Amino acid sequence: MWQEIFTAIDQAYEEMVEIRRYLHQYPEVSFKEEKTAKYIADTYEQLGIPYQAHVGGNGIIARLEGDKPGKTVALRADFDALPIQEENDVPYKSKNDGAMHACGHDGHTATLLSLAKVLVDYQHDLPGTIVFLHQHAEEYAPGGAKPIIETGALEDVDAVFGTHLWATTPLGTIETAKGPFMAGADRFEILIKGKGGHGAQPHLTKDALVIGSQLVTSLQQIVSRRLDPLETAVVTVAQFESGTAFNVIADTAKLTGTVRTFDADIQDTIIEEMEKIIKASCLPYDADYQFDYYKGYPPVINHADEADLILKHAHEADETLTARETAPSMAGEDFAYYLEEKPGAFYFTGAKIEGHAYPHHHPKFDIDERALPLAAKTLLQAYRSYQEKHAY
């Protein structure tokens, strides 16, 4: 039966691409995915698969109960886009100005919807229950995963699996890790409050731009000089806003950025060190500051047994696949919240376009669509492997 289903998934490739390209043309950013959510809900309505809409916001959860005994396994796909103007010259280019599927969530949705369309014909042969978990707002904290969990809609789920089409990993490669896989992702804002003045009279000012410039450099020393070299962390200042004219000394400077960690103690240390450095940088100039730190998604920590199922059995879904353990990524994902509640694992499905290796969140991001059925088959294999391991 399983090989028959895998073959059916391959045969659904053209429809999978059609769904992905349709969604790509009509992206909706986080928390505003109303039309996308309706498209997903309408699909399950047509398939006759029971579903819940507006779960934790715009989330959609559908359930396909097999006739054989087994566990309840959730398979997750996110469906929000990013506030990016697409620069690709393709027939399926975004038609919504300022919005783009620049992270592959259109592909995730097409993968899961197509898998549901195939499996509905095999319902009587399936063990347990498959939960098709369509999540909104992955891209922007507080995200969609946490509110979905808080509704209690996943309380009966035994395990959860998810994949991310990964544009920098070669097609045919599956990557995951047993344990830490993706970093916790936080955001910070620092506002330096100085005193502006004429560019010819710096001695009468408290130059916020100079203070901010020194701060950018000093913050880099947290990782290089305040943390154990064996620990992994990132402190990135990504925006610096200051000044209004070439001959006016700025009275304020705003720095925003991100911190990535895998350990809560390291996270706390970085916050403490940032506060010290900001205060010390402002003190010589008698300047004030405001420091706002927003804890975002926790790190994605895969459960070893579930990650092992992916590594050992991915090739059973498609003999062309190679599954390998990889070093953790410093990118963030709110799939982390599911793994705090339930056993499971998250993994990358290689979707690199040779000669077009633009990273995620880039205006020219795209994926090799041949990865779509591979993602669908490995999600199904994860469900299958879990059922077989925990068979009654």
Boundary of a domain, candidates 249, 271, 297: 297
Expressed as residue numbers, the domain containing 293 is 184-297
pLDDT of residue 357: 77
Could you tell me if 284 and 312 lie in one domain? Answer: no
Could you tell me if 198 and 275 lie in one domain? Answer: yes
Measured between its terminal Cα atoms, the distance across the chain in Å is 19
Is 105 annotated in a binding site? The answer is yes
Which residue is catalytic, options 28, 33, 78, 80? 80
Which residue is catalytic, options 138, 207, 251, 273? 138
Could you tell me which of 96, 115, 116 has the C-alpha nearest to residue 46? 116
Could you tell me if 27 and 118 lie in one domain? Answer: yes
How far is the C-alpha of 16 from the C-alpha of 112, rounded, in Å? 9
Residue 110 has pLDDT above 90, yes or no: yes
- Tell me the angle at which helices 371-389 and 304-317 cross, rounded to the nearest 10 degrees: 120
Average pLDDT over residues 101-108: 98
CA distance to 100, 111, 164, 330, per residue, from 365 (Å): 9, 18, 14, 19
Is 175 annotated in a binding site? The answer is no
Boundary of a domain, candidates 262, 297, 332: 297
CATH of residue 258:
3.30.70.360
Could you tell me if 317 and 289 lie in one domain? Answer: no
Is 361 annotated in a binding site? The answer is yes
Kindly state the tokens that stand for 66: 């097999």
pLDDT of residue 254: 98
Boundary of a domain, candidates 250, 281, 297: 297
- For 191-208, the pLDDT digits (tens) are 999 999 999 999 999 999
Is 54 annotated in a binding site? The answer is no
Q: For residue 80, indicate whether it is catalytic.
A: yes
* Number of domains forming the structure of the chain: 2
Could you tell me if 178 and 135 lie in one domain? Answer: yes
- For 118-176, the pLDDT digits (tens) are 999 999 999 999 999 999 999 999 999 999 999 999 999 999 999 999 999 999 999 99
Could you tell me if 96 and 226 lie in one domain? Answer: no
Is 164 annotated in a binding site? The answer is yes
How far is the C-alpha of 332 from the C-alpha of 349, rounded, in Å? 16
Question: pLDDT tier at 392 (50, 70, 90 boundaries)?
Answer: low
Kindly state the tokens that stand for 161: 């699996």
